[in-house]
């Protein structure tokens, strides 16, 4: 007790300037600690909006803003939930609803304990009506428990290169350890949209299943030309979130907005801008080029994105003296140039013996 009093008296007796310096240092230390803890992670009330748009087949980024900030993503989480179930389970399977899937807070398809329903109706209810209860039912059906299913979600995220994403539940209900970035979420959505069953589910406007019928909540499907997916989301913490997809001509664009109050209007602006500014160019795997009188072609089809106003040029460079060439031999390199230089290069292989 006496020691504490002496320390207190010592502080009181310090010169005023020293006291101020100590207080400033303490305040700075506390502030720095706060910044480190919250580094690169934002909640909706911070008013930060994150967004990105990618071309689906190439993954080319067309637009982005704050795309690498970790943010909550609400029910857009269910893209991953649906993807895993679609990849691993038979949608015709029937199950009995577990008690843990009944009365889950938030959006619901109002499952009842002991009710029989098939996986297909649950997946459509998950993506069209954003059923939080459906997410839990599917997680338990797939993995035996929500916890084990969440492990699969995080493993899949890492597999897809979504390294700034962490899931703590299958439905997107608020949790401090549940977050993504616009870039990660767009990667996940692009991968999911390449799955034929997934893309069919999220593009459906009205659904009549064996046990349930739904109308899709995603207004983009009804109001935007070419819209074909994917998922809405909202919580107070995450704000309004929308992952959208639209196809015009050969180009399919996937966009993400997180914590965007006017998510439909902003998404429309992003998609319109990208469709106007960019074009998708494809070189078919059967397109033939000439390299020092040797006919050759790429081993696979090549797709790339360029500006609509951009002139694209092709250059074929021979690798070596072309003697004793056999069909399938590497003979040249195709280089594709835009106004800012090299866009990409691809090997070319002989289609003749010489």
More confident: 319 or 212:
212
Within this chain, do residues 110 and 85 fall inside the same structural domain, yes or no?
yes
Does residue 147 register a pLDDT over 90? yes
Are residues 78 and 142 both part of a single domain?
A: yes
How many domains is the chain partitioned into structurally? Answer: 3
Higher pLDDT, 20 or 262: 262
For residue 9, the model assigns a pLDDT of 45
Question: Of the listed 78, 156, 187, 231, which one is catalytic?
Answer: 78
Residues 251 and 313 in one domain: no
Q: Which element (helix H / strand E) includes 327?
A: none
> In whole numbers, what is the pLDDT of the chain averaged over residues?
89
**57, 107, 130, 245: the active-site residue:** 130
Asked if residue 234 and residue 132 are part of one domain, the reply reads: yes
Q: With cut-offs at 50, 70 and 90, classify the pLDDT of residue 18.
A: very low
Same domain, 11 and 135: no
Active site residue 299: no
Q: Which residues pair with 234 in a beta bridge?
A: 240
Which of 243, 277, 311 is where one domain is finished? 277
- For the question of residue 78 being annotated catalytic, the response is yes
| Same domain as 292, residue 265 | no
Q: Which two tokens stand for residue 52?
A: 């990105």
Instruction: Flag whether 39 is in a domain.
Output: no
Q: What is the DSSP code string of 261-320?
A: TTHHHHHHHHHHHHHHHEEEEEE-TT--EEETTEEEE-SS-EEEEEETT---EEEEEE-S
Q: What confidence score (pLDDT) does residue 41 get?
A: 56
Which residue reads 């080029």 in tokens? Answer: 289
Which of 143-157, 262-276, 320-334 comes out lowest in average pLDDT? 320-334
29 Cβ partners below 8 Å, 6+ apart?
Answer: none
Residues 147 and 270 occupy one common structural domain:
yes
Residue 96: pLDDT above 80? yes
Per-residue model confidence as pLDDT tens digits over 220-260: 999 999 999 999 999 999 999 999 999 999 999 999 999 99
Same domain, 115 and 198: yes
Query: Is residue 307 annotated as part of the catalytic site, yes or no?
Result: no
217 inside domain = yes
Domain CATH for 264: 3.40.710.10
Same domain for 136 and 224, yes or no, is: yes
User: Within a domain: residue 38?
Assistant: no
Catalytic residue among 5, 20, 60, 75: 75
Q: What is the pTM of this model?
A: 0.85
The residue range of the domain holding 296 is: 284-350
Q: Tens digit of pLDDT for each residue in 125-146?
A: 999 999 999 999 999 999 999 9
């Amino acid at each position: 007790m006496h020691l504490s009093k002496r320390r207190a008296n010592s502080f009181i007796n310090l010169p005023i300037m020293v006291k101020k310096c100590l207080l400033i240092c303490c305040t700075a230390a506390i502030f720095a600690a706060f910044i480190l803890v919250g580094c690169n992670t934002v909640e909706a009330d911070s008013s930060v909006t994150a967004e990105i748009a990618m071309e689906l087949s190439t993954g080319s980024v067309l637009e982005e803003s704050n795309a690498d900030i970790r943010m909550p993503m609400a029910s857009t989480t269910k893209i991953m939930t649906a993807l895993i179930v679609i990849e691993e389970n038979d949608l015709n399977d029937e199950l009995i609803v577990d008690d843990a899937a009944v009365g889950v807070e938030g959006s619901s398809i109002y499952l009842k304990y002991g009710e029989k329903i098939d996986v297909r109706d649950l997946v459509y209810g998950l993506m069209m009506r954003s059923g939080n209860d459906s997410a839990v039912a599917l997680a338990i059906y797939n993995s035996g428990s929500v916890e084990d299913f969440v492990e699969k979600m995080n493993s899949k995220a890492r597999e897809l290169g979504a390294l700034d994403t962490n899931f703590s539940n299958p439905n997107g209900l608020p949790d401090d350890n549940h977050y993504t970035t616009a870039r990660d979420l767009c990667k996940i959505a692009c991968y999911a949209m390449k799955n034929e069953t997934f893309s069919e589910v999220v593009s459906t406007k009205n659904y009549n299943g064996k046990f349930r019928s739904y109308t899709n909540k995603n207004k983009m499907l009804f109001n935007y030309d070419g819209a074909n997916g994917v998922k809405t989301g909202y919580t107070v913490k995450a704000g309004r979130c929308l992952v959208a997809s639209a196809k015009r001509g050969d180009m399919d664009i996937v966009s993400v907005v997180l914590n965007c109050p006017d998510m439909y209007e902003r998404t429309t602006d992003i998609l319109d801008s990208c469709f106007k500014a960019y074009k998708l160019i494809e070189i078919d795997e059967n397109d033939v080029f000439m390299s020092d009188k040797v006919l050759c072609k790429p081993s696979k089809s090549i797709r790339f994105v360029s500006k609509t106003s951009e002139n694209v040029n092709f250059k074929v460079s021979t690798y070596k003296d072309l003697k004793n060439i056999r069909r399938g031999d590497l003979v040249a390199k195709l280089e594709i140039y835009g106004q800012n230089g090299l866009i990409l290069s691809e090997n070319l292989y002989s289609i003749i013996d010489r």
